[in-house]
Amino acid sequence: MLSRVTSTSRTLAGALILGAILGAFALGVQIAEPPTAHACAFDPLRPAAYEGDALRERYLLAIDAAAINQLFPGDSYFGLPSVEAGTRTNRAAGQPAVPVEVLRAIGWVESTLTMASRSTRFESIGPALVSFDCGHGVMQVTSGMTIPLGAEGRPTEHQTAVATSDTHNIARGARILASKWNDAPGLRPVAGTDTNGDPTLIENWYYAIWAYNGFTGPGSRQSNHPLDPNLAWPRPAYRCDGTQSRTRYPYQELVTGCVTNPAQRGGGDLWAAVPLTLPDFTQPQFFNAMRLASFTFPYREMDIPTPQPAHRSVAPQLPENAQLVLLGSPQLSVNGSSVTIHANGTPDQASATIRIANPGSGLLSWSATPSDGFLIVDPPAGSAAGSGVSCTAVDCPNGQITVTINPTLLPASRASGTITITSPNAPGSTTIRVQVFAEFEVAAPGTSRAP
C-alpha cells in the first residue's frame, strides 16, 4: 500500500509540474528575462570570503587602520598615497590619510559593512559580496574588478585580495577615496577654497565622496547632483537607520547622513556622531557652483568654500596589536597532493574536495588556478581563518574547493592536470595533481576512446 501511494504521488507530482509548465505557457506567460550580466573578475563563479562579527568590530578596526595608512603603507595598490592640500594654485602633497569618519560611512552605505553575501552568517565563510556591477566586498570596490586582469584571462593577486580579504578590500577603498580627492584640481573641483583645501576638514571631502560613487551630473540616471530635479527638495537629513528611501538622496548625502547619524547595532552607535555641514544652496557661493553652466570639465566654476561650521577629522588611535589582529601572519596549507575524479561515477566520485587551512594567524586569502580548461574549481578564490580570527560556523575555519570537470573539454577519457593554490598574503604555493577518469565517449573533435 505504501508503495502504491508513493507511486501515485509521484505520478501526480509529475503531472503537476508538467501541468504547471504547460498551463503557464498556454496562458501566454511572459517568462521573466534573465538580467543582463556584467563580466566581473571571477565570473561566472563567485569567490568566497570571511564575514566578520555582527558588531563590525573587525571591519571598523580595519577602517581605522586604513584611514591612517597603517594597513599596507608603501604598497602602490593598497597603501594610501599622499593626500594633497591646497587650492588650484598651491596644491601640494600632504599626509597619507583620509577622514576615518567618511570611510566608515561609505562602508556602511556601500555594504552595511559586510564582506560576504547576506546569506553568510557572521563569523563564518561564504560567498563573497559581489554586486551586479562588480562591486566587491565592504567598500564595494569596482575599479579594477570588472574583468580578469591576469594571464590567460585569470584574476590577478590584487583582484583575489580585494574579493577575499577584508583588510585589502578596505585599504583599496580608502585608496580610491584618496585618489578621488587628489583628482582635484585637474579633473575635479576643489572644496575648501577658503581653508586651503585642508583635507583634515571633513566637509572638504564633499566632492571626493560624490566621486566615489560617480561624479555624475544632473539628469543622468545615476545623478548625484544635489539640485537634480529628480531628487526631493527640500529633503530632511538622511538618518542612516533604514527608515528612509535612498531614492531621494544624492550619494554624498547618504554618506554625510551616516557620519552625522551613526548606524546602530547591538543597541548602540557603531561610531561617534559628527554633525557635518552640507553646502547651503541658498548662498550664491554654493549655488553658483551647482549651476548647469558650471558642470563643465575641469569644473573650475564648481570650486566651493568649506561649508561652515566645519569639523576636523579625528585620527583614530589604534591598539598596539592592531596589525597583528588585522593582518596576522597567515600560512597556506593544503590537504593532500592529488585527487581523483571519476566523471561518470557516483556523485561523490564525480568531484573532489580540496581543503585549505591557515595554520598561521589572521585571515588567509587564496586562489586556485587550474592548469586546463576541463578542470573547474569552485570557488576560485576564498579565505581561511587562522588563529585570532573567530570563525564559529560548521564550515569554519578552512577554505574548501570543489573540483569538477567540464567533459566537453576533456582531451581523452583519461586525463590529468593540476590545480595551483597560491595566496596574495602568505608565502608559498601548492600544486595538486588531478587524475580524471571518464569512461564515456568524449565529444571533442579529433579524439577517440582511450585505448
Partner 1 sequence: MALQPRPPRFVRLVFASAGLVLLVAAGAVMATFLRAERAAPERAATSGPTLVFAEFGLNADEILVAPAEDPEARTPIQTIPHASGWGLNPAPALVAGRTAYTVLPPNATPSRTSAAELWLLEVDTTSASRLARDADLLAAPVLRQDGAVLAYRRTEDGGGQSLLRVDLQTRARRVLHTDHSSFGLFPVGFDEGGALLFTRLSADGTDLMRVSEGAAPELIIHASDEIARDWSVAPAGDAVAFVAPLLQAERIVHQAQVVSLRTDAVVATTPAASFLGEQYGPTWRGDGALALGREAIDGGGVAPVVVGTAEGPILPAASAGFDVPLGWSVGGDYLAVRHFSGSGSQNPGTETLVLIGTDSSRQTIATDTELIFLGWTGA
Q: Which is nearer to partner 1, 22 or 444 (CB)?
A: 22
The three-class DSSP label of residue 27 is coil
Residue 73 has which C-alpha cell? 603603507
Contact 306, 201 (CB under 8 A): yes
Q: What DSSP state is assigned to residue 137? A: T
User: Under the criterion CB under 8 A, does residue 246 sit at the interface with partner 1?
Assistant: yes
Name the residue with cell 504547460: 22
Q: Which residues contact 331 (CB under 8 A, 6 or more apart)?
A: 358, 359, 360, 364, 386, 426, 427
Smallest gap from Cβ 318 to partner 1, in A, equals: 31
Q: Residue 191 forms beta bridges with which residues?
A: 304
Q: Which is nearer to partner 1, 45 or 227 (CB)?
A: 227
Contact 276, 260 (CB under 8 A): yes
Taking the alpha carbons of 129, 134, 136, 139 in that order, is the dihedral positive or negative? Answer: negative
Which residues of 283-387 form beta strands (DSSP E)? 333-334, 338-342, 352-357, 363-370, 375-378, 381-385
User: How far apart are the C-alpha atoms of 67 and 364, rounded to whole Å?
Assistant: 22
Of 80-88, 95-103, 234-242, 411-419, the window that binds partner 1 (rule: CB under 8 A) is 234-242
Pairing of strands 268-269, 264-265: antiparallel
Which segments of 27-119 does DSSP mark as H helices, in order?
A: 57-67, 100-111
> In the chain, how long is the greatest CA-to-CA distance?
91
Smallest gap from Cβ 16 to partner 1, in A, equals: 5
Which of 247, 317, 337, 346 touches partner 1 by CB under 8 A?
247
Q: Which is nearer to partner 1, 73 or 219 (CB)?
A: 219
Q: Which is nearer to partner 1, 23 or 319 (CB)?
A: 23
- The number of helices, as runs of H, and strands, as runs of E, in the chain is 9, 13
Q: Which is nearer to partner 1, 173 or 362 (CB)?
A: 173
Q: Which is nearer to partner 1, 244 or 404 (CB)?
A: 244
Query: Which residue in 238, 360, 349, 215 sits closest to 295, CA to CA?
Result: 215
Q: Which of residues 211-230 bind partner 1 (CB under 8 A)?
A: 214, 217-223, 227-230
Q: Which of residues 103-132 bind partner 1 (CB under 8 A)?
A: 131-132
Smallest gap from Cβ 34 to partner 1, in A, equals: 10
Q: Which of residues 134-193 bind partner 1 (CB under 8 A)?
A: 135
Which of 87, 179, 196, 244 touches partner 1 by CB under 8 A?
244
Smallest gap from Cβ 85 to partner 1, in A, equals: 28
Q: Is the peptide bond before 185 cis (omega within 30 degrees of 0)?
A: yes
Smallest gap from Cβ 219 to partner 1, in A, equals: 2
Q: Which is nearer to partner 1, 103 or 289 (CB)?
A: 289
Smallest gap from Cβ 237 to partner 1, in A, equals: 8
User: How far apart are the C-alpha atoms of 163 and 169, rounded to whole Å?
Assistant: 7
User: How far apart are the C-alpha atoms of 275 and 260, rounded to whole Å?
Assistant: 5
Mark residues 19-58: x for contact with partner 1 by CB under 8 A, - for none. Answer: xxxxxx-xxxxxxxx-x-----------------------
Q: Which residues contact 347 (CB under 8 A, 6 or more apart)?
A: none
Count of residues that bind partner 1 according to CB under 8 A: 64
Which of 243, 317, 321, 337 touches partner 1 by CB under 8 A?
243
Q: Which is nearer to partner 1, 297 or 394 (CB)?
A: 297
**Ramachandran area for residue 74 (φ above 0: left; ψ -120 to 50: alpha; else beta):** left
User: Under the criterion CB under 8 A, does residue 77 sit at the interface with partner 1?
Assistant: no
Q: Which is nearer to partner 1, 64 or 203 (CB)?
A: 203
Q: Which of residues 267-296 bind partner 1 (CB under 8 A)?
A: 280-284, 287, 290-293, 295-296
Smallest gap from Cβ 41 to partner 1, in A, equals: 16
Q: Which of residues 3-22 bind partner 1 (CB under 8 A)?
A: 3-4, 7-8, 11-12, 15-16, 18-22
Angle at 29 between CA 25 and CA 32, to 5 degrees: 115
Q: Which is nearer to partner 1, 35 or 153 (CB)?
A: 35
The residues binding partner 1 (CB under 8 A) are 3-4, 7-8, 11-12, 15-16, 18-24, 26-33, 35, 131-133, 135, 214, 217-223, 227-231, 233-237, 242-247, 280-284, 287, 290-293, 295-296
